[in-house]
Structure 1
Amino acid sequence: MKKFLNLHKIPLLIFLSCCAFYLAFAYDLERTDFFKLSSLYGGLFFLSWKFFQMQRYNLKILLAAAVVFRVLFLFATPNLSQDFFRFIWDGRLLLQGINPYLTTPNEIFSSGSLPFSGARELYDGMGSLSAGNPTSYPPLNQVFFAFAALLGGKSIMTSVIWLRITIIAADIGIFYLGKKLLKHLKLPESNIFLYLLNPLIIIELTGNLHFEGLMLFFLVAALYLLQRQKWLFSALLFSCSVALKLIPLMFLPLLFRRLGWKKAITYYAVTGVLLLLFFLPFLSGEFAENFFSSINLWFQKFEFNASFYYLIRWIGFQVEGYNIIAIAGPAMAAVVFVSVISLSIFRKNSEGRGLVTSMMFASAIYLFLATTVHPWYLATPLLLSVFTRYKFVQVWSLMVVLSYFAYSQPDYAENLWLIAVEYVIVFGVMFFEIFSQRPQSFSAEDAKVDLKIPHEAK
């Protein structure tokens, strides 16, 4: 034991320091305390990176650390987001046989008849914005919400724990399948920990219960099966990914060259039919109007941590004298669509690395042009980036903490100078990587070493 401690005392010290930082983040932090939040976040980034560097070839230790860091949050109330109140609300509505797409929490309260006990606490917790709109979470999300509400009973905290266990399980699945996909792509298997040990992922997904992690599990599973030429099973899992979050829909055109036109059409058809089956139990005359109106809010009403949109908004004020989000939002969505089609036509997506790289850039372009970029939105391009040579999204996942300055202000006002710093650094790193053609952080020799390490050592 003494010999082990002597050999591993620095990694052990870093691990324990990370545990202390995560405990402070989970149980002793108010999101209004920006200095403490950003200090903990920056410290975790540095410590996690050093731990990864020191243990890069010991996947078992890295996995154990990743799981421990997540388990530390198990009994914590999410402190950076209140979305979980709406998750549990939707789940409890489903258990009562009420379609969450057809009514808003405000409408239920106005009726004077509360559908379940504890409704007032959930209603007060979710905030006025969520309470005033129909749910925008796709149907497979709703299944997991109902599952957590069922197991949680009348306890909000027990439901939170079950939501958290689901997300942790998804991350373990990402480790298992992501490692296999990296091996198929002849990349270091340890790259998967650039996602799993990233503080953004641990804090925002496990800590604050955002379901991007589960969506990404199904997406990675679909990509792995696609790489194994099992494209019909891939379509099944891809549809599950979309039924959790709609974002993967943008990747469908990129699969065309990888599959060829006959298989691609079948893949799209299978995905479409399965999605219809997911939505079928909720379909009604009002469903489409309510669901898509809620989604449309993100393009025409909400603004947070945007990049190009804030420039366009400033130009709109100079030229028109008012906020042009109602015009700019849909216009930028159209630019995203054209960009994805261009990536599908002009990039070589027929092989695995090229396809994943195009998917990463498609998701990054979407976020660069979005009116709202919450930190957890970066989970998608961050995970895809570990299968590429690009690291600018990892830098972005560090700089995005600057956006939380808004929560330290009474009126949630953003500091546009901080937002500018965030994006200047991100764009600077991205363009440097694109135009310098710098080598990967892991050389070909590193990959050979990683892939040849005996199984016992991992």
Structure 2
Amino acid sequence: MVRLWKYHKFSIIFTVVCALFYWNFAYRLDRIDFLKMFGLWTGLFFLSYKIVQTNPNSIKLLASIALGFRIIFLFAIPNLSQDFYRFIWDGRMLLEGFNPYLSLPEIWIAQGSAPIAQAQELYEGMGTLNGSHYTNYPPVSQFCYLIAGIFAGKSILGSVVVMRFLIILADIGTFFFGRKLLRLLQIPENRIFWYILNPFVILELTGNLHFESVMIFFIIWSLYLLQKGYWYWAAIALALSVSVKLIPLLFLPLFFQKFIVDFDKISLKYRFLKLIGFYSIVIITTVVLFAPFLSLEFISNFGKTIGLWFQNFEFNASIYYIIRWIGYQTIGWNIIGTVGKILPLIVIGILLLLTFLRKNKSSAQLITVMMVGICSYYFLSTTVHPWYLAVPLALCVFTKYKFPIWWSFVIIFSYTAYIHPDFKENLWFVALEYSVVFGIFISEVFKNTKIVSLKSIYT
């Protein structure tokens, strides 16, 4: 014990202080107390960095610490997001045999006929905005909610514990396959702790019960399988990620060069067949997973809810807020209805340019372009909730870019909106957040472009 303290005293101190900070975050924090939140958040980022810095090659130790920090949250009710109430509602509705995509919580509550336990409490927890819209969580997410309903159908805390356990399992899977992928790409294994030990991931995903962790597990697993040459299994894993959250659909065009250029030892015809096979498996698997819920009413409800994100909701945006300001100055009103239809088309254009004009045949290049593509989407989005950043953060582990790590820190400024009782954003803090993000992003683009240019000259 004395020897352990002698050689690891700083690591022990950092870990214990981190654990205390996480405990305060989990059980003693109100989201309107931004000063306390910011203090804990900053302290956790600094201490987590020091833990990795002092133990760069102690993979098992760092993994154990990361798991321990997550376990601290096991019995905590999320205090930064109320989305989990809707997750529980959907899971219990599904357990009772009702299609969660076809009805609104507010209707069940108004009629007083909700067929699930704690319906009123769940409705009040999710809020009237959430309860007045159809659910948009895909089938694999719904399956996770169903598991919570099976094991804890009458306890909110019990449901939280079950869902948190699933999220922790997903992070373990990401750690396992992430390390393997790093080894295959000849990148230092400890890079995985940019994600696994990042306080943002622990607080937003494990703490606030956002299932991006499950989606990311399937994305990383898919990339690992693709690198190993098992493209058919990689397609299934990618489809599973799409069926957790739809966002990986954006990645589909980017796989074009990976199949057409990278597999250069076989005929062009066979390469196209592989590409078509990959896309077909992704689409067919996704459709099969959605099949139990499919109906014309489902398609209508699901489409309406997805459309709201582009044309109604606004939060923590960057480029869109500049466009909105220009609209107010020139036209005199909010132009989200028009801009919300145009921006997705611009994103599609950017993805196509990245697909055909940027060299991305190797796995490292593919992952880099995936990260740039998803960030381009978020830069142009009308709504960027903090937990969305988990995807670019996970992908940056396998690239030369670190700006998503900085973004995962400064995203805390978006929570200043909760200081106001009527949930009002402070645009100065939004500007500060994106000034940091764009500043580091642009500098890294120039740096990495310069490195590539120099390599081309001397090789």
* TM-score using structure 1 length: 0.95
Q: Distance in 1 between matches of 2:306 and 2:323?
A: 21
Q: 1:312 matched to which residue of 2? A: 323
Q: 2:405 matched to which residue of 1? A: 394
Can you list the C-alpha shifts for 1:170-228, whole angstroms capped at 9, x where unaligned?
Answer: 00000000000001111001100000111110000000000000000001000000000
Q: Distance in 1 between matches of 2:104 and 2:153?
A: 22
Q: 1:11 matched to which residue of 2? A: 11
Q: Distance in 1 between matches of 2:143 and 2:25?
A: 29
Q: 1:449 matched to which residue of 2? A: none
| Structure 2 counterpart of 1:355, one-letter code | L
| Structure 2 counterpart of 1:175, one-letter code | F
Q: Where does 1:186-205 land on structure 2 (aligned, <5 Å)? A: 186-205=186-205
Q: Distance in 2 between matches of 1:173 and 1:317?
A: 47
- The answer to whether the 8 A contact 1:347-1:354 is kept is no
| Structure 1 counterpart of 2:19, one-letter code | C
Q: 1:114 matched to which residue of 2? A: 114
Q: 2:267 matched to which residue of 1? A: none
Q: Where does 1:376-387 land on structure 2 (aligned, <5 Å)? A: 376-387=387-398
Are 1:366 and 2:385 counterparts?
Answer: no
For structure 2, the 5+ residue unaligned runs are 261-271, 452-459
Question: SS at the partner of 2:225?
Answer: helix
- The answer to whether the 8 A contact 2:106-2:132 is kept is yes
Q: 1:277 matched to which residue of 2? A: 288
- Residue of 338, 349, 365 corresponding to 1:338: 349
Q: 1:28 matched to which residue of 2? A: 28
- The answer to whether the 8 A contact 2:414-2:429 is kept is yes
Q: 2:82 matched to which residue of 1? A: 82
Deviation of the 1:254 alpha carbon: 0.6
- The answer to whether the 8 A contact 2:109-2:119 is kept is no
Can you list the C-alpha shifts for 1:313-343, whole angstroms capped at 9, x where unaligned?
Answer: 0001111111011111121111111111111
Q: Distance in 1 between matches of 2:153 and 2:382?
A: 37
- The answer to whether the 8 A contact 1:218-1:237 is kept is yes
| Structure 2 counterpart of 1:312, one-letter code | I
Q: Where does 1:412-451 land on structure 2 (aligned, <5 Å)? A: 412-437=423-448
| Structure 2 counterpart of 1:296, one-letter code | G
Q: Distance in 1 between matches of 2:52 and 2:346?
A: 38
Can you list the C-alpha shifts for 1:275-315, whole angstroms capped at 9, x where unaligned?
Answer: 11111100112000100111111111111110000000000
Q: Distance in 1 between matches of 2:426 and 2:224?
A: 41
Q: 2:365 matched to which residue of 1? A: 354
Deviation of the 1:112 alpha carbon: 3.0
- The answer to whether the 8 A contact 2:317-2:379 is kept is yes
Q: Distance in 2 between matches of 1:166 and 1:436?
A: 39
Are 1:242 and 2:242 counterparts?
Answer: yes
Number of aligned residue pairs: give it: 440
Deviation of the 1:437 alpha carbon: 3.0
Deviation of the 1:109 alpha carbon: 2.0
Q: 1:403 matched to which residue of 2? A: 414
Are 1:226 and 2:237 counterparts?
Answer: no
Q: Distance in 1 between matches of 2:450 and 2:421?
A: 45
C-alpha RMSD of matched pairs (Å): 1.1
Q: Where does 1:120-199 land on structure 2 (aligned, <5 Å)? A: 120-199=120-199
Question: SS at the partner of 1:245?
Answer: coil
Q: Distance in 2 between matches of 1:94 and 1:147?
A: 10
Q: Distance in 2 between matches of 1:19 and 1:112?
A: 43
Can you list the C-alpha shifts for 1:141-192, whole angstroms capped at 9, x where unaligned?
Answer: 1011011111012011001000000000000000000000001111001100
* TM-score using structure 2 length: 0.95
| Structure 1 counterpart of 2:64, one-letter code | A
Question: SS at the partner of 1:437?
Answer: helix
Q: Distance in 1 between matches of 2:309 and 2:449?
A: 36
| Structure 2 counterpart of 1:93, one-letter code | M
| Structure 2 counterpart of 1:65, one-letter code | I
Q: Distance in 1 between matches of 2:53 and 2:401?
A: 18
Deviation of the 1:262 alpha carbon: 2.1
Q: Distance in 2 between matches of 1:155 and 1:112?
A: 20
Q: Distance in 2 between matches of 1:356 and 1:413?
A: 36
Q: Distance in 1 between matches of 2:64 and 2:81?
A: 27
Deviation of the 1:438 alpha carbon: 8.7
Identical columns (%): 49
| Structure 2 counterpart of 1:232, one-letter code | Y
Question: SS at the partner of 1:286?
Answer: helix
Q: Distance in 2 between matches of 1:4 and 1:48?
A: 20
Are 1:299 and 2:310 counterparts?
Answer: yes
Deviation of the 1:424 alpha carbon: 0.7
For structure 1, the 5+ residue unaligned runs are 441-458
| Structure 1 counterpart of 2:351, one-letter code | V
- The answer to whether the 8 A contact 2:400-2:448 is kept is no
Q: Distance in 2 between matches of 1:348 and 1:439?
A: 16
